[in-house]
Chains A and B, each alone.
Chain A
Amino acid sequence: MIKNLKAPFIKTKASDHNIMRDVLIALMPVSVMAVVSFGMRSFLMLILGVVSAVFFEYAYQRILKKEVTIKDLSAAVTGLLMGLSLPSTAPLWMVVFGTAVAILLVKQLPGGIGKNTFNPAVFSRVLIKILFSPLITDWVLPGTDAVSTATPLSFIGDGSKTIPAEAPSFYDAFMGNIGGNMGEMVKWAILLGFAYLVVRKVINFWVPVSMLAGLFLTTLLFGESDPGFALYHVITGTAMFAAVFMVTDYTSGPLNNKARIYYALLIGILTGMIRYSFALPGGVGIAILLMNLLAPVLDGYCTPRVFGHKGRVIPTSSVLRR
C-alpha cells in the first residue's frame, strides 16, 4: 500500500510550467505591438525565434539522450525574448543564430534550466551585436514604409548631458514611435506585462523598479541633475524591457530578495555608466552579463541571518554552485 507519505500533503498550484506560461503571457502586449508596428515580417521573426529555440532544446536533449524538457516552456520564453530583442530589419538567419547560441551554448552546455550563469537571450544578443553590428543597426520607424531613423539613445549617450532638440519627444518614446528593437519600443505594453508578472507573483515588484532607479540616479548625476534627461534615459533603449524581462530572470540572477534588489540597482548604475562613457547604446546587455557573474557574490553577501542565531556564516561554495 501507500508508504512513506510525508508532510506537507498539499502543494501550491504554481509550477515551473505555469511560471513560464505567465512570462509568455506577459510578453504578449509587446509582441502584439511589435507586429502591429512592423507587420508580418516581425511576426515571422518572433515565431521563428520560438520555434527554433524549442527545436534546439529538443534536438540537443534527444541527441544526448537526456530528458526532453521543452514542456516547461522555458525554451519558448528564450526564443521569444531573442526575437523581441532584435530590430525588425535584422536578417532571419540571425534569429536562428541567436537562439542556437542562447539554447545550445549558454543554457544547455552548463546543464540546462537553472544551471546557466548568463542570461541566454542577453548573452546571445550581445554576441550578435559584437559580431554583426552593421546588420542590426538599421533602425526604422514603425509602419510599413520603413523610414530609417536613429534610436533615441544615439542622441543622449556618449557623454551627452542634455537631450538635443532633434531627439524624439517623451510621448513618442513612450508610445513606441521611435526606432529600436521590437520588444523595447512600446513602453505601455512593457508596463502591462510588468503589472501582470507582479500580480501573478512571478517577479518582485522592486526588482525592475530598482534597476530603473539605478539608471535614473546615475544619469541624473551625469546629466547635471536634470530629471528630464535622466527620465529620458529610463524610457529609451532597452532599459525598461530588460528591467522587466531580463533582470528578473531567475537563473542568471541571485537567489534571495535582498541580493536581487542590489543586483538590479547595480545593473541600472552600470547601464548608466556604460551609456555615458562609450558610444555604446547597448549598455544594458553588458551590464546584465557583468552582474550575472557577480550574482553569487551578492548572494553570499546577502545571506540571511537564520532565526534564533546571532551571526551568520556565508556559505561560499553553496552560493557558487548552480
Chain B
Amino acid sequence: MDILKFFTVRGVRIPAHKEKTKDLKVESIKPSKHLYFPMAMHIGKPAKPIVTIGDSVKIGTLLGESEGGVSTNIHSSVSGKVVSIPKDESKKGLETVIIENDYRDDKVKLKDLNESITTEDFMKRLEEAGITGKGGAGFPAHIKYDMERHKSKYLVINGSECEPYSTADHRCMVEYASEIVKIIQLIEKTYEVDEAFIAVEEHMTESRDALKQALKERNAERITLYELPAIYPQGHSGLQIHQILGLEIEEGQRSGDIGVLQSNVSTIKAIYDAVFNNESFHKRIITVTGPMIKNPKNVMVRLGTQVEHIVEACGGFHPGVRINISGGPMMGKSFEDLTLPVDKDTTTLLYLKRYGKEEERACIRCAKCVNCCPVSLQPILISNAYRNREYEMGNILKSESCISCGICTYICPSRITLLEDIQKLNKALEGIEDD
C-alpha cells in the first residue's frame, strides 16, 4: 500500500482512461485524397525537398532529404503526384510537399540488407528509412544508434505508455509482439549488449502476455520483461532506466553515456519494418480518443494525413466546447487547426471537454508538488522564486532539471500553475545567460 510507505512514492497514480481503446484492434483507415508533408516532422533541421511539382511518387519515394546533422529523410506514404510545395512564411519558410493520392498504393522498397548486419549497416538503414523516436520527442533514431554503438551494455525498450488515454504502444505490442521480439534480438546481437529489457506497465496485461508469449516462442531468454508500477511518469527515459537498472543519468548526460540504448516500442516496430520489410517510415499507429470523439479508435494512419480526415473516420465529434490535444493529457500540445497533418511524433489525438478555468488560490503548503516531483524538485519554491523575480534562485533549486511531466500542476489543490512558472523561470534564466 502506497499510503504506508515511509516516504510517498515519487510520481502519481493518475486515472488511466485507457479502457475505451485498449482492446480495440488497430484499424487501417483509407488514406485521404491529399496528403501533407511538412519538411519538419522531427526535431532538428528540416529536410530539403527533392521533388518538384508534377513528379510521380510511390509509397517510400524520398520527398525530403536529410540536411545532415540532426535531421532525417521524409518519404511519401501514398502513391500519386506532387501537386504543390507551398512555403509557410509564418514558420520560417517551412516547405510542405502536397501529394494527390491515386489510390494505387505502388511501393518502392529499400535495398535488401546483408545477412550479417553490422552496426554501420543498421545505422545507415535507420537514416535511409527516416526513423525518428516515436515516443513523442521525435529525435532522429540513426543519430542515437550511431552515438551509442560502441558503448552500449544495456538495451531498454520502452513499452510503458504512462500518459493517460494513449494505447497506441499497447496495441503495437499486442499485435506485433513477435516482430518486436525479433528486431530486439537482432539489435541485441548487432550491438552486443549484455542485457535487454522490455518495460511494460503493470496494468496493461494484454501487452505483457503477448510479449511473454512471443519471448517464449522465439527462445529469447536474454530479454527480460520488466513490469513497471502504473505510476506516472514511468515512461520517462531517465526515470525508467533508473528504475530498471539503478543507473542515474547525470545532468547533461545522455542515456548512451551510461551505456544504455533506449527506444520506444513503436520506434522498434518501425525499425523492424525498415530492416526486415525494407520499408521506409511512412505510417504509424495513433490512438484517437477522449470524451469528445464519437468512436474512439486505434488507427494505422499514413504520415501526412490531415487530422480532420482521421476525425471523420472516427465518427466526428460530440457537440460541445472542446480542446484538441496532440499527445497525452499531461504533456501533449493543444492545437486549433484541424488541417494539421499527422507527423512522425504524433502518438495520440485526444479530444477533451473544455471546462472554464478554475481560479488560482493561495498555496496551503500541502507540499504535494514537492513530495510527488519525480526528479525531486521543489516546484512551489521555484514558482515563488519566479513570482518574486528571484530568477537566480532557479540555479540553486535546479529548475533546469524539470522534465515537464506536469505532475505539480496536475496535483496542486490550489490550482497554481507550477509547471508554467518553472518553464517561465527557465526561459528567464536562459535570457540572463544569453546577455
Contacts and interface: CB of A to CB of B under 8 A. Distances in A.
A204 B8 contact: yes
A250 B367 contact: yes
Interface string A277-317: 00000000000000000000000000111111110010101
Given A1-B336, A307-B376, A258 B331 contact: no
B250 A318 contact: no
B300 interface: no
Given A16-B361, A250-B364, A256-B370, A313 B3 contact: no
- Mostly, the A contact residues are loop
B33 interface: no
Nearest to A5: B334
Contact of B330 (A10, A315, A321): A10
Given A8-B331, A69-B362, A72-B361, A308 B250 contact: yes
Contact of A8 (B390, B413, B414, B419): B419
Interface in B374-394: 374-378, 380-381, 384-385, 388, 390, 393
B87 interface: no
A10 B410 contact: yes
Given A2-B323, A198-B3, A7 B364 contact: no
Contact of B376 (A9, A205, A305): A305
A65 interface: no
B365 interface: yes
B352 interface: yes
A72 B8 CA distance: 26
A199 interface: yes
A322 B332 CA distance: 33
A122 to B, nearest CB: 16
B152 interface: no
A256 B378 contact: yes
A270 B238 CA distance: 42
Nearest to A303: B378
Given A2-B336, A16-B414, A306 B377 contact: yes
B420 interface: yes
B329 A10 contact: yes
B362 A114 contact: yes
Contacts of A112: 362
Contacts of B407: 8
Interface residues of B, number: 67
A14 interface: yes
A81 to B, nearest CB: 15
B53 interface: no
Nearest to B409: A8
A71 B88 CA distance: 50
B384 A318 contact: yes
Interface string B333-344: 110100000000
A9 B365 contact: no
A18 B325 CA distance: 29
B79 interface: no
Interface in A1-51: 1-2, 5-12, 14-16, 18-19
A319 interface: yes
A253 B371 CA distance: 14
A288 to B, nearest CB: 16
A201 B409 CA distance: 18
Task: Count chain A CB atoms within 10 A of each CB in B253, B323, B334 and give the residue with the most.
Answer: B334
B330 A308 contact: no
A8 B6 contact: no
B81 interface: no
B393 A315 contact: yes
Contacts of A261: 6
B147 interface: no
B133 interface: no
Contact of A315 (B327, B358, B381, B413): B381
Contacts of B4: 205
B138 to A, nearest CB: 16
Contacts of A113: 362, 364
B432 interface: no
Contacts of B50: none
B164 interface: yes
B430 interface: no
A307 B380 CA distance: 17
B25 interface: no
A8 B330 contact: yes
Contacts of A309: 250-251, 398, 401
Given A16-B364, A308-B238, A8 B375 contact: no
Nearest to B336: A1
A251 interface: yes
B375 A308 contact: yes
Given A7-B330, A8-B329, A307 B375 contact: yes
Contacts of B331: 7-8
Interface in A118-154: none
A317 B393 contact: yes
B8 A315 contact: no
Given A69-B361, A318-B385, A7 B367 contact: no
Task: Count chain B CB atoms within 10 A of each CB in A1, A5, A253, A306 and give the residue with the most.
Answer: A306
Contacts of B210: none
Nearest to B367: A255
Interface string B355-373: 0001001111111001100
A102 to B, nearest CB: 16
B20 to A, nearest CB: 15
A6 B418 CA distance: 12
Contacts of B417: 6
B415 interface: yes
Contacts of B3: 198-199, 201, 205
A69 to B, nearest CB: 7
A121 B208 CA distance: 53
B314 to A, nearest CB: 19
A257 B330 contact: no
Nearest to A111: B362
A308 B378 contact: no
Interface string B270-300: 0000000000000000000000000000000
B397 interface: yes
Contacts of A6: 334, 417, 419-420
B385 A250 contact: no
26 contacts: A2-B336, A5-B323, A7-B325, A7-B332, A7-B406, A9-B332, A10-B410, A11-B410, A12-B411, A16-B413, A19-B364, A19-B366, A114-B362, A114-B365, A115-B362, A251-B364, A251-B365, A255-B365, A257-B8, A304-B376, A307-B374, A308-B250, A309-B250, A318-B378, A318-B385, A318-B396
Given A253-B365, A257-B7, A315-B397, 14 more contacts: A2-B354, A6-B419, A7-B330, A8-B329, A10-B352, A69-B361, A199-B3, A255-B365, A260-B367, A307-B374, A308-B249, A308-B401, A315-B393, A318-B381
